[in-house]
């Protein structure tokens, strides 16, 4: 019961806040609603039993990425409304229709292949629910064989995530660490150019001193 | 009872919202916000599949997606700041300089 209420509440709020993000003309409104929607998405993760992922979502997305955006706001004119002139409606409709078609095909293709498999199973004398149960338990058996179950009795989510992250996914983890280092250096170099001459301190004073020194 | 398809439908709706944002936005910062929306939709789908198939691989993918999103934002915002210093605006129409 609580799960149903929480699911519909979270999904309605998330979709509404993301719509504000996409449709709003004010950068500050868009950023604030994006941050709020990310907090609610971490609620989805907690509901799904992915505790560690929810905490990471809160710390990295809401804490780090949104803080980075709000620091970047210092460089942009955030209070002014954005004027966007949209191109011809025909092009927008064409692009929208095409991407909707691609999306439907992407989502429908696995369902279609599943239906074909199910038809084969039904021909071989197996009921639909048996097929679905067998399918899910097949994957669960695969997870059990490889030691990657999501929930085990007596072991918390964070613990099993840690064990798998540092055994099966050790190399991708290290590569991600190197990638974050590269991104950090790139961000510092790109944004930090000419950071040494301050924006608040009057630069002309220094120039005058230099000029006086030169004259001497 | 909430099943896997509920979560996948919510994820698809959020992904479509992000796609609409990418298609209709002309401001580069707003395009970044729309890509964040799409990344979050994919993360929801991964976590839901991971829960219903009792398989941690989905959560691992979501972690790496979050790491990639963080580095993307760091580099992208640096480029945006350089662009803003150079052109004084973040509108894609102002930045288009290769018109034939």
Q: Does B92 touch chain A (CB under 8 A)?
A: no
Query: What's the pLDDT tens digit per position in A129-170?
Result: 666 666 667 666 666 666 666 666 667 788 888 888 888 899
d(CA A202, CA A79): 25
pLDDT at A101 over 90: no
* Cβ within 8 Å, pair B25-A22: yes
CB nearest A191 (choices: B34, B48, B81): B81
Query: What's the pLDDT tens digit per position in A47-97?
Result: 998 899 999 999 998 999 988 888 888 777 766 777 766 666 777 778 878
* Cβ within 8 Å, pair B53-A136: yes
Report the percentage of chain A scoring pLDDT > 90.
28
In chain B, which residues have their Cβ closer than 8 Å to the Cβ of A7? Answer: 2, 6
Neighbouring C-beta atoms of residue A26, cutoff 10 Å = 14
* Cβ within 8 Å, pair B47-A4: no
* Cβ within 8 Å, pair A31-B73: no
CA geometry: angle B64, B84, B17, nearest 5 deg: 45
Q: Which CATH class is domain B4-95?
A: mainly alpha
Nearest chain A alpha carbon to B37: A18
pLDDT at A124 over 80: no
pLDDT at A100 over 60: yes
**What parts of chain B have a pLDDT lower than 50?**
none
Query: What's the pLDDT tens digit per position in A36-54?
Result: 999 999 999 999 988 999 9
* Cβ within 8 Å, pair B7-A60: no
Residue among A32, A63, A61, A57 nearest A44 (CA): A57
CB nearest B81 (choices: A4, A72, A149): A72
Prediction ipTM score: 0.91
H helices present in chain A, as ranges: 2-23, 27-47, 51-56, 66-72, 89-123, 128-145, 157-165, 170-191, 203-215
Q: Tell me the pLDDT of chain A averaged across its residues.
A: 79
Q: What is the pLDDT of residue A8?
A: 93
Structure tokens at A86: 């949209």
Q: What is the mean pLDDT of residues A102-121?
A: 77
């Amino acid at each position: 019961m609580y799960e149903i209420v929480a699911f519909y509440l979270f999904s309605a709020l998330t979709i509404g806040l993301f719509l504000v993000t996409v449709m709003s003309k004010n950068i500050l409104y868009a950023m604030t609603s994006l941050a709020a929607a990310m907090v609610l998405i971490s609620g989805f993760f907690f509901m799904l039993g992915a505790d560690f992922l929810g905490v990471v979502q809160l710390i990295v997305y809401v804490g780090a990425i949104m803080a980075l955006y709000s620091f970047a706001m210092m460089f942009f004119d955030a209070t002014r409304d954005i004027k966007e002139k949209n191109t011809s409606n025909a092009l927008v409709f064409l692009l929208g229709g095409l991407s909707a078609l691609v999306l439907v095909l992407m989502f429908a293709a696995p369902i279609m292949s599943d239906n074909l498999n199910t038809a084969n199973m039904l021909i071989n004398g197996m009921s639909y629910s048996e097929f679905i149960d067998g399918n899910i338990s097949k994957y669960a058996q695969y997870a059990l064989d490889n030691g990657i179950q999501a929930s085990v009795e007596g072991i918390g989510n964070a613990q099993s995530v840690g064990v798998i992250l540092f055994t099966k996914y050790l190399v991708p983890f290290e590569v991600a660490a190197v990638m974050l280092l590269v991104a950090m250096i790139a961000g510092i170099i790109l944004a930090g150019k000419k950071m040494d001459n301050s924006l608040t301190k009057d630069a002309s004073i220094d120039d005058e001193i230099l000029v006086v020194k030169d004259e001497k | 009872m909430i099943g896997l398809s509920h979560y996948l439908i919510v994820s698809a709706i959020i992904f479509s919202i992000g796609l609409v944002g990418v298609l209709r936005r002309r401001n580069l910062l707003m395009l970044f916000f729309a890509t964040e929306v799409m990344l979050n939709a994919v993360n929801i789908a991964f976590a839901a599949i991971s829960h219903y198939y009792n398989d941690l691989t989905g959560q691992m993918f979501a972690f790496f997606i979050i790491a990639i999103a963080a580095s993307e934002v760091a580099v992208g915002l640096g480029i945006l700041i350089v662009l803003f210093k150079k052109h004084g605006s973040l509108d894609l129409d102002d930045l288009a300089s290769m018109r034939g």
